[in-house]
Structure 1
Amino acid sequence: MRMRAIDIFEFPTNLGLRQLDPDHEPGVNRMPEWLHQHGLHERLQAEHVFRLEPPAYGMEQDEPSGILNVEAASDYAIRQAQLMSRQLERDSFKLILGGDCSILIGSTLALKQRDKYGLFFLDGHTDYITPDLSQTGGIAGMDLAIAAGVGDERLTNLEQCKPYVEPQHIFCVGNREYDQAYVKPVLKSDVHYYDLARVRSEGIQPMIESFLAMMNEQELDGFLIHLDVDVLNDTLMPAVDSRQPDGLSYDELAEILISLVSHRLAVGMEVSILDPSLDPDGQYTAALVNHLTDVLDHM
């Protein structure tokens, strides 16, 4: 029996992604409605649903940084944090639906303005790069670095709150892009880094125990889970913008998430990057909804 109410927050932004097809903007902005259509909201019996409409999609590239949509994304993150801040007093589990994973900026800003929080970041990529290393300029590929205070000040220091999460309070889990230049920034940081190979070699439960021990030792007030669905095996979730072979099975994901969402310090969980246009018959979405529902029933 679920012990906590669930509030859903919908942040349908696609500002963090580069447009790959000139005739179609990235479809992740339809993710909340798509999950609703496949029964997520009803099955979770959400008490409240909050939604913040994003600015119109664009491809405004900042010079000289090369970052896309800096001003629009910064403004959206501030408004996202304001909306969330008004609800953090409620003793509910916050399920935060993107959009692309730039939603992490607004979520962690809201938490920073309240207390000291940890972050368990599940993603098939590190998202810990700076603009000069980005091949796309998309903020969605830099979101973890931004949350940790690394990158352009217009994104990293909103409301003078840099960093939104201290690097040593972050676990970055599930990356399977092993290119040396790509992983170098996160390896040089104080982030606790568990790529997919390490997760499997050392085991899930020891990793979870290390995260919770860090939470206790640092006397943090709570933690947020970030789930980018491209952390899943590509055969299970191909409806993402940046596909790669391998990835977590649903059983592995459940083992991770159940231990986290059932913990008293879990504030909530973000889910991002599912593109409905890449799953036209909804088969991959329906499976995701089933598994998320099962996991959240363990709270």
Structure 2
Amino acid sequence: MAIDLIAAPSNLGLRPPEPGSVPGTAKAPEALRESGLFGAFARLGARDAGTELAARYRAAVEPGATVRNETAIIDHSRRLTGRIDAAIGAGRTPFVIGGDCSIVLAPALALRRRGRFGLVYLDGHGDFRHPGNSDEVGALGGEALAAAVGLHAPAVSDLDGLRPLIQPRDAVQLGARDDEVDAIELAETLGAFLPTSAVRTDGIERTVERVRAVVAASDLDGYWIHLDVDALDPEYMPAVDSVDAGGLDPAELVALLQALAPDAIGADVAIFDPDLDPTGEYAESLTALLEAGFAELGTATVVSTRGQERHG
């Protein structure tokens, strides 16, 4: 299956980095294009499937909303869902280049409309803050996994009345730091919670087995990979909105992606911030990592007789 590259330049799910400023993640798709990402994937047979623009970022939470930019996030998610669904319907593999982590709602909605799918949420943070466990909700980028599995406010977790978009037992949080604040709830709620220490204790092969036991179960229609590049240790990727030590190294991340990407129905990448990469060196290193990790994205999936994607 050939890849469709979909740009999703959004910063709607993040807090302002400082008063009066806006997050730079909306610039990521163009910065990665400039660093050669789109060209590299074109040489592998991918095509540019266009850009889904987001509305203007606003720092204040609108009246009656739970998170900032709530209306804009919902609108962007629905439009991005359409592009993802069109790619899958055409027998292609969507690879969404974002953006902040709130973009994961779009593939979650697209796949929920088609059946029951798993989610590999590869992120240096749990993104599991929600109204049931925090009084500080308001930035959906740090709450996206909770929304995807139906624990957030209905406006962002019950799109199309299909809550949960991903069954909690069908999701894996992979790569969070060992001091993750919501570690206990993640472990009790999801199909698996595998922080960085678990990856290193188990090794790549065993970690992949544990992930696949959840997201590639026989009763699922496939799985999606969400990658927040802050899964990398800041020694290798400091150009992210929340820098915390203790992450994966590039070799570990590439090995995980190479093992999981072929059977995935699609993937997205988020949180790279070009404003924090003035020389472009991290865009270049990230381009090389994504090419190595996702070159075989979707190559092991086939179209089922129901028109959905299944593992082959």
On whether the aligned pair clears a TM of 0.5, the verdict is: yes
Contact 2:122–2:226 (CA under 8 A) maintained in structure 1 = yes
Q: How far does residue 216 in structure 1 lie from its aligned partner after superposition?
A: 4.6
Match of 1:284 among 282, 285, 290: 282
The yes-or-no answer on 1:28 pairing with 2:53 is: no
The yes-or-no answer on 1:167 pairing with 2:168 is: yes
**Aligned positions, number:** 293
Residues 166-199 of structure 1: CA deviation (Å, up to 9, x unaligned): 11111100110515x5323313313310011111
Give the AA of the match of 1:7. D
Q: Partners of 2:32 and 2:152 in 1: how far apart? A: 32
Give the AA of the match of 1:77. S
Q: Partners of 1:62 and 1:245 in 2: how far apart? A: 34
Contact 2:129–2:137 (CA under 8 A) maintained in structure 1 = no
TM-score (norm 2): 0.88
Q: How far does residue 284 in structure 1 lie from its aligned partner after superposition?
A: 1.0
Q: How far does residue 76 in structure 1 lie from its aligned partner after superposition?
A: 1.5
The answer to which of 273-282 and 19-28 deviates more is 19-28
Contact 2:120–2:215 (CA under 8 A) maintained in structure 1 = no
Which position in structure 2 is the counterpart of 1:16?
Answer: 13
Give the AA of the match of 1:178. D
The answer to which of 68-77 and 219-228 deviates more is 68-77
Which position in structure 2 is the counterpart of 1:69?
Answer: 69
Q: Partners of 2:165 and 2:84 in 1: how far apart? A: 14
Contact 1:124–1:177 (CA under 8 A) maintained in structure 2 = no
Q: How far does residue 47 in structure 1 lie from its aligned partner after superposition?
A: 1.7
Residues 225-254 of structure 1: CA deviation (Å, up to 9, x unaligned): 010000001110000000001211111011
Give the AA of the match of 1:258. Q
The yes-or-no answer on 1:124 pairing with 2:124 is: yes
Q: How far does residue 5 in structure 1 lie from its aligned partner after superposition?
A: 1.7
Q: Partners of 2:8 and 2:216 in 1: how far apart? A: 31
Contact 2:172–2:190 (CA under 8 A) maintained in structure 1 = no
Percent identical among aligned pairs is 32
Residues 85-120 of structure 1: CA deviation (Å, up to 9, x unaligned): 222122322211111000001111011111211111
Q: How far does residue 218 in structure 1 lie from its aligned partner after superposition?
A: 4.1
Give the AA of the match of 1:34. A
Report the 3-state secondary structure (helix = DSSP H, G, I; strand = E; otherwise coil) of the residue aligned with 1:58: coil
Report the 3-state secondary structure (helix = DSSP H, G, I; strand = E; otherwise coil) of the residue aligned with 1:119: strand
Which position in structure 1 is the counterpart of 2:236?
Answer: 236
Contact 1:18–1:136 (CA under 8 A) maintained in structure 2 = no
In structure 2, relative to structure 1, the CA distance for the partners of 1:293 and 1:160 (3 Å cut) is: same
Q: How far does residue 202 in structure 1 lie from its aligned partner after superposition?
A: 1.7
Q: How far does residue 211 in structure 1 lie from its aligned partner after superposition?
A: 2.5
Give the AA of the match of 1:42. G
Report the 3-state secondary structure (helix = DSSP H, G, I; strand = E; otherwise coil) of the residue aligned with 2:193: strand
Residues 17-58 of structure 1: CA deviation (Å, up to 9, x unaligned): 111223421110011000000000011103232211111110
Alignment of 1:253-268 (within 5 A): 253-263=253-263, 266-268=264-266
Q: Partners of 1:5 and 1:190 in 2: how far apart? A: 31
Q: Partners of 1:289 and 1:241 in 2: how far apart? A: 18
Q: Partners of 2:210 and 2:19 in 1: how far apart? A: 45
Report the 3-state secondary structure (helix = DSSP H, G, I; strand = E; otherwise coil) of the residue aligned with 1:87: helix
In structure 2, relative to structure 1, the CA distance for the partners of 1:82 and 1:293 (3 Å cut) is: same
Q: Partners of 1:214 and 1:143 in 2: how far apart? A: 19
Alignment of 1:148-297 (within 5 A): 148-176=149-177, 178-179=179-180, 181-263=181-263, 266-297=264-295
Residues 130-171 of structure 1: CA deviation (Å, up to 9, x unaligned): 146264620000000100000100000011111111111111
Residues 258-294 of structure 1: CA deviation (Å, up to 9, x unaligned): 011122xx11111000000000111111011012112
Which position in structure 2 is the counterpart of 1:38?
Answer: 35
Unaligned runs of 5+ in 1: none
In structure 2, relative to structure 1, the CA distance for the partners of 1:203 and 1:63 (3 Å cut) is: farther
Unaligned runs of 5+ in 2: 300-312
Give the AA of the match of 1:202. D
CA RMSD of aligned residues (A): 1.8
Q: Partners of 1:230 and 1:190 in 2: how far apart? A: 21
Q: How far does residue 63 in structure 1 lie from its aligned partner after superposition?
A: 5.5
Give the AA of the match of 2:268. E
Q: Partners of 2:184 and 2:129 in 1: how far apart? A: 9
Q: Partners of 1:61 and 1:42 in 2: how far apart? A: 38
Contact 1:125–1:177 (CA under 8 A) maintained in structure 2 = no
In structure 2, relative to structure 1, the CA distance for the partners of 1:137 and 1:189 (3 Å cut) is: same
Q: Partners of 1:165 and 1:134 in 2: how far apart? A: 24
Report the 3-state secondary structure (helix = DSSP H, G, I; strand = E; otherwise coil) of the residue aligned with 1:203: helix
